[in-house]
Structure 1
Amino acid sequence: MTSKDPAVPNPAGQDHETVQIQRIAQRDPAAVSRSGARPGHWRPDIEGLRALAVGVVIAAHIGFPYTAGGFIGVDVFFVISGFLITSLLLREIDKTGTVSIAGFYARRAVRLLPAAATVLLATLLAAWIWLPRTRLGETAVDAATAALNVINIRLAQEGTDYLNAETVPSPLQHFWSLAVEEQFYLAWPLILLAIAVLGAKLSKPGKFTTARHRHRGPGRTIAIAVFLVIAAGVSFWMSANWTQSDPVWSYFGIHTRAWELAVGALIAVGAGLLRSVPRWAAALGSWTGLAAITASVFVLDERTVFPGTAALLPVAGTALVIAAGCVPHRFGAQTLLGIRPAQFVGKISYGLYLWHWPFIMIGPTVMGLEDVRLRHYLVLMAGALLVTVATFYLVENPIRTRKPLVQVPSRALAMGGGLIATALAASLFMYAQPLPNQSSDEAVEITGNETTVWELLGESSDTDIVPANLTPSLDDAVADVPALYEDGCQVDRNDPEVNEDCWYGDPDGDKTIVIYGDSHAGQWFPAFNQSATASGWRLLTMTKANCTVADIQEHDPILEREYTECEDWKEDVLDYLAEIKPDVVVATAYDRKDVIADDPDQAWTDGWVETVDRLQEVAGEVYYLADNPEIGLNVPGCLAENPQNASVCIGHVDDSNVDPERREATMAAVAEAGANVVDPTPWVCDLERRTCPVIVGNLLVYRDSNHLAPRFVSLLTPRIAAMIPLAAEAAAPGSR
């Protein structure tokens, strides 16, 4: 998000025409349109729109009531930026017949990079001091990609990776919108330059034609407009058609956001034609546009498929306000947007946007808060406002008004390169720092033979020291996943297809066991694979990201809609199981699901019973493996923060289930339906002390808040083999 157009802002460094436009605008904004000039650098209605945009973004981020749709503030900024920067480029073409690419990027460097680099470096320092050491590497990568304007691509990749579904948002995540704009403007000046050069060659000066008039030829304007219409149409088509199926890439990608910038650019191209609009219509249009933006904040929310067609409302509203401002009129929305508080917030909105998110993500830790309330966020935002004002007057303004930088593009570009290099160097330094040694002491190594997990489980709740031989290490915990992930046997969210090639165990076995479920089924793979191999059974894994096998309708938080791919996948899995007729099916899934139903708890229980009934039609034995206890906090992160007091990270049995009553009801219902019920809680928790240790011997139990670590699971094989014996003859399919 770029809150201000990056053109040279100081009158001393501007051309005479620009200075006159700004002076006239300050006295009579409507006179800018009457003057016949291109839109100027400053318009009070746009400044007010900036204030509105950053305000609703912050309101949504801090959970202010009824502002869940405040994320549309970014879309408002996209349209504003498209309009202002295109206006500047067109004015340059009008005057010179060309575009100075070096000058364009020099202006952007002077305007954007000082504040951005300040926030990046300050956030890296704050992360170093206050965030868990396990997050420093990711934060460093985020800072580097933010400095290079590709963080939106990184976030899209991370967001589609199921292993990162529970990752705490990055304190630099908000830089994605700046990356989208910079990617758009990497090509846009070059396209305008090409059109200008081509137009100049095709237009020969006549007897009564000056070079300046030739620059303003209607053919060039039409060519620019046609290009923008095509680009906007293609981008909007992709947004409307791809957001539903690929929401993460659609949200962060330039391909589905470019149309919003192009809409603003089209207004700049047609600014001259807009002057013929009646004043009363312009005033009405500005209020209508402001109402559309405001309505977006209240009618859209986190469940809205966005951007898609839903982005039309805030984009159209912003376009109406900006277009109306090109017409001389009174009593329009500018009377509200032009008030002094809005003008001040609009002036500093770029810095406020940059600072607010790190304050939200790191501020509660600095304040020692665990249960963060709205009042705490309001205090943090007051702090962000103070820091923003300081940054504006101490960093932004002094640099962007410095004549040696403003008047010599090479110096501005050198400064920008230096700031980017500094941010990259700081990121590299942080990334290269290893986690400090938690302890020089080594814990008892659990081999599964002489020393077993259950022998040490009872005394593990008193473990205070993170051992030096912890397996996996805190650095490696997040990436420590079962082998089926690398084999592509954990089906992604967007993929409804069944992978029929996920066979393990004994390839020559004549009996088959199936693990069926989501990642909480896949986490048990190491134990089932060992057991199947030892027993001479084939093992088939049927797992899909966040897809519960209960026969329910589910809302997915990443897709932000009904998880239809899960429903389709489950039907195809059951059809495939009917073909192979497995001897045993073990079904399990994470209990924390968003059930779409009037009575979610009853729908959950009924859904599991329906699934068990269908599985019993195709399999000899059906086991319902209840969900494992979850800790409720990121275990590696907690241990990294408390290396000498690891016991504060342990879980408690009474708090380890999503809904204990529903869990008990489901286990009873599926048992009555004929399934064998297995509760894994005694395998990972001390039922006498009612605690769930996170370190047992030298083993890390959880790789996040709810997934068990593969090495720990592999050493539970004897427990699983005792509860689900594969050596015994299974009943024939359909024998019940």
Structure 2
Amino acid sequence: MHRLPGLDLLRAIAIVWVMLFHAYLVGGLGDSYAWLENNGWMGVDLFFVLSGYLIGAQWLKPLSEGRPPAFGRFYARRLMRTVPAYLAVLMVYFVVPAAREAPGIQPLWQFLTYTVNFLIDYRQNQAFSHVWSLCVEEHFYLAFPLLAWWLAQLGSAKASVATCLLVLLGGLALRAWLWLHMGDRPFVEVIYYPTWNRLDGLLAGVVLATIQAYRPALWASLQAKANLLLLAGLAMTGAAIAIFQDRAGLLASVVGYPLLSWGLALVVAACTSPACLLSRPVPGAGWLALVSYSLYLSHKLVFHAVQGWLATHPQVQGVAAFALYAMFTLAGGALLHYTVEGPFLRLRDRLQGRRESRTALAPTSAGA
């Protein structure tokens, strides 16, 4: 799938929003921008919707055309896409403890098995805790292709709809039960981090991809109404923001996530259309989208490093301090992308190109 300016803009907004949320680690943005900072965690949900749509489109279009699934190719590409930069940052966290934004950290094996979001002791081990969302993504990469292939084999639209409803309604019921029985455990451990509670954004993105692959006429109709979709999506997102003012409350925990996810999904659907107001190229958005994964991995380390330097230079405050944080955070993300993430992506593409060339040159049984 070729890059779309609207989706690049959304990805750029998502990473900036998340980093602004994590500004609390270094003192926050101040009262004037507290609303922006406090809601920045929603950038992760935007990433989930984007992932659900983009990964869903990769799988569902060939399945809708009757092509066989390429499990090995998909998992190899995901491995080369996500693991090298992750391991590089993980090495810093464990080899250089002073670089951590918090002293406590979960055991290494949990990071290597992507189980941190199930097992974290948040009161004691907050370093690299934002890896919880990478765990959710990896679980999705592992399970979704198998589920999509199975549903395609069944060939039943009713089975697909039932599966989506099961995920949606099951999530509502599970979060309600967990909230009522949470006791004194931290909200993030019980509700916010576990994969089974955070499937709404991925589901919403997959539903968009399903409509695009299996109902092209409906998708074309939605594309033609892109700006109405955008308006409706922003309204739903605004309603979710209002509900999440009590972020750990029952209403937010139960219905807030699907409301937010479907609002963001309408925005994503709108931004896939050239007719959308947000689909015009915005300077810098494409680059931020390109390095967003590296920024997500590294930004807390950079925050901590800059905070340490500023502690010895108290005269640097206000706008100057914010500019330093922004400059070094972008530089850190760029360094990780261009030295680790990017080279492995190029290696992946070269290896894939060689395999495809060998396949194309291999004799068929008819010509052997």
TM range (shorter): 0.7 to 0.9
The alignment partner of 1:149 has SS state of coil
Q: Partner residue of 1:387?
A: 332
Is 1:318 the counterpart of 2:264? The answer is: yes
CA shift for structure 1 position 140: 6.3
The aligned counterpart of 2:15 is 54
Q: Does 1:232 align with 2:168?
A: yes
Deviates more, 1:313-322 or 1:243-252: 243-252
Is 1:258 the counterpart of 2:219? The answer is no
Q: How far has the Cα of 1:54 moved from its partner? A: 1.2
Say whether the 8 Å CA contact 1:304–1:310 is kept in structure 2. no
Output the CA distance in 2 between the equivalents of 1:86 and 1:122. 33
1:341 Cα deviation (Å)?
2.0
Task: Supply the distance in 1 between the matched residues of 2:279 and 2:177 (Cα, whole angstroms).
Answer: 35
Once the two structures are superposed, residues 361-390 of structure 1 have per-residue CA deviations (whole angstroms, 9 ceiling, x without a partner) of 454235546999765455233212112112
Q: CA deviation at 1:297?
A: 5.8
Q: Which amino acid aligns with 1:406?
A: Q
Match of 1:352 among 295, 319, 336: 295
Any idea what SS the aligned residue of 1:343 has? helix
Distance 2:88 2:326 in 1: 18
Listed one character per residue, the Cα deviations across residues 98-152 of structure 1 (whole Å, up to 9, x for unaligned) are: 322222210101111121112112233332x4569x94xx4361x4322321111
- Cα distance change on mapping 1:399 and 1:131 into 2, 3 Å: closer
Which of 116, 130, 133 matches 1:174? 130
Q: Distance in 1 between matches of 2:354 and 2:143?
A: 23
Question: In the TM superposition, what is the alpha-carbon distance from 1:296 to its structure 2 partner?
Answer: 5.4
Amino acid at match of 1:285: L
Distance 1:374 1:152 in 2: 35
* 1:342-421 pair list within 5 angstroms: 342-365=285-308, 367-368=310-311, 376=321, 378-402=323-347, 403-407=349-353
SS for the counterpart of 2:39 is helix
Are residue 153 (structure 1) and residue 118 (structure 2) matched? yes
Aligned to 1:44: 5
Per the alignment, in what secondary structure is the counterpart of residue 225 of structure 2? helix
Q: Whose Rg is larger?
A: 1
1:288-303 mapped onto 2 (5 Å cutoff): 288-290=232-234, 292-293=236-237, 300-301=244-245, 303=247
Tell me the SS of whatever aligns to 1:98: coil
- Per the TM alignment, residue 300 of structure 1 is displaced from its structure 2 partner at its CA by 3.7
Structure with greater helix percent: 2
Q: Distance in 1 between matches of 2:21 and 2:245?
A: 9
2:68 is matched with: 98
Matched residue, 1:511: none
- Residues 1:256 and 1:382: Cα distance change in structure 2 (over 3 Å): same
1:122-201 residue pairs with structure 2 within 5 A? 122-127=92-97, 129=98, 135=103, 138-139=104-105, 141=107, 143-155=108-120, 158-159=121-122, 164=123, 167=124, 169-170=126-127, 172-196=128-152, 198-199=153-154
Shift of residue 320, structure 1, vs aligned partner: 0.4
Give the counterpart letter for 2:54 in structure 1: L
Displacement, 1:268? 0.6
Cross-structure match for 1:414: none
Structure 2 Cα separation of the partners of residues 231 and 345 of structure 1 = 32
C-alpha spacing 1:182/1:307, structure 2 compared with 1 (3 Å): farther
- Aligned residue type for 2:109: A
Distance 1:362 1:273, change over 3 A: farther
CA contact (8 A) 2:270 2:276 kept: no
d(CA) in 1 for partners of 2:322, 2:180: 32
Q: How many residues align?
A: 333
Structure 2 CA distance for aligned equivalents of residues 325 and 58 of structure 1: 22
Bigger proportion of residues as strand = 1
Name the counterpart of 2:363.
none
Distance 2:191 2:12 in 1: 26
Counterpart-to-counterpart distance in 2, 1:374 and 1:153: 38
2:278 corresponds in structure 1 to 333
The answer to which structure, 1 or 2, has the higher relative contact order (CA under 8 A, 6+ apart) is: 2
Are 1:269 and 2:210 an aligned pair?
yes
378 and 61 in structure 1: CA distance in 2 versus 1, 3 angstrom threshold = farther
1:481 aligns with none
Correspondence 1:282 to 2:226: yes
Equivalent position amino acid for 1:235 in 2: G
Q: What's the TM-score once normalised by structure 1's chain length?
A: 0.41
CA distance in 1, matches of 2:217, 2:162: 16
Aligned mates of 2:271, 2:167 — CA distance in 1: 24
- Cα distance change of structure 1 residues 190 and 130 upon mapping to structure 2, 3 Å threshold: closer
RMSD: 3.1
Q: SS at 1:99's partner residue?
A: coil
Relative to structure 1, is the Cα distance of residues 86 and 389 closer, same or farther in structure 2, using a 3 angstrom cutoff?
same
Contact 1:119 1:354 in 2 (8 A): yes
* Contact 1:240–1:309 (8 Å) recurs in 2: no
Instruction: Please report how far the alpha carbon of residue 226 of structure 1 lies from its aligned counterpart in structure 2 after TM superposition.
Output: 3.3
Q: Would you say the 8 A contact 1:41–1:84 is kept in 2?
A: no
The change in CA–CA distance for 1:220 and 1:362 in structure 2 (over 3 A counts) is farther
SS in 2 for 1:401: helix
- Residue identity matched to 1:319: A
Give yes or no for contact 1:78–1:261 (8 Å, CA) kept in 2: yes
- Return the offset for 1:237: 3.0
CA displacement at 1:401 relative to structure 2: 1.8
Q: 1:333 Cα shift?
A: 2.9
Secondary structure, in 3 states, of the residue corresponding to 1:174? Answer: helix
8 Å contact kept, 1:241–1:308 = no
Distance verdict in 2 for CA 1:93–1:130, change over 3 Å:
closer
Instruction: Look up the match of 1:72.
Output: 42
For 2:313 and 2:304, the matched residues in 1 are separated by 12
The whole-number CA distance in structure 1 between the counterparts of 2:42 and 2:106 is 28
**Cα 1:237/1:369, change in 2 over 3 Å:** farther
Q: Is the 8 A contact 2:99 2:301 kept in 1?
A: no
The CA deviation at 1:289 is: 2.0
CA 1:103–1:81: 2 relative to 1, 3 Å: same
Consecutive unaligned residues of structure 1, counting only runs of 5 or more, are 1-39, 200-218, 410-736
The alpha carbon displacement at 1:275 in A equals 2.8
Q: Distance in 1 between matches of 2:16 and 2:295?
A: 9
Deviation at 1:81, TM superposition (A): 0.7
The TM-score, its normalising length taken from structure 2, stands at: 0.78
- Cα deviation, residue 233, structure 1: 2.4
Deviation at 1:75, TM superposition (A): 0.9
Q: Which runs of 5+ in 2 are unaligned?
A: 356-368
How much has 1:359 moved relative to structure 2?
2.2
Following superposition, the deviation at residue 399 of structure 1 comes to 1.4
Native 8 Å contact 1:351 1:388 kept in 2: yes
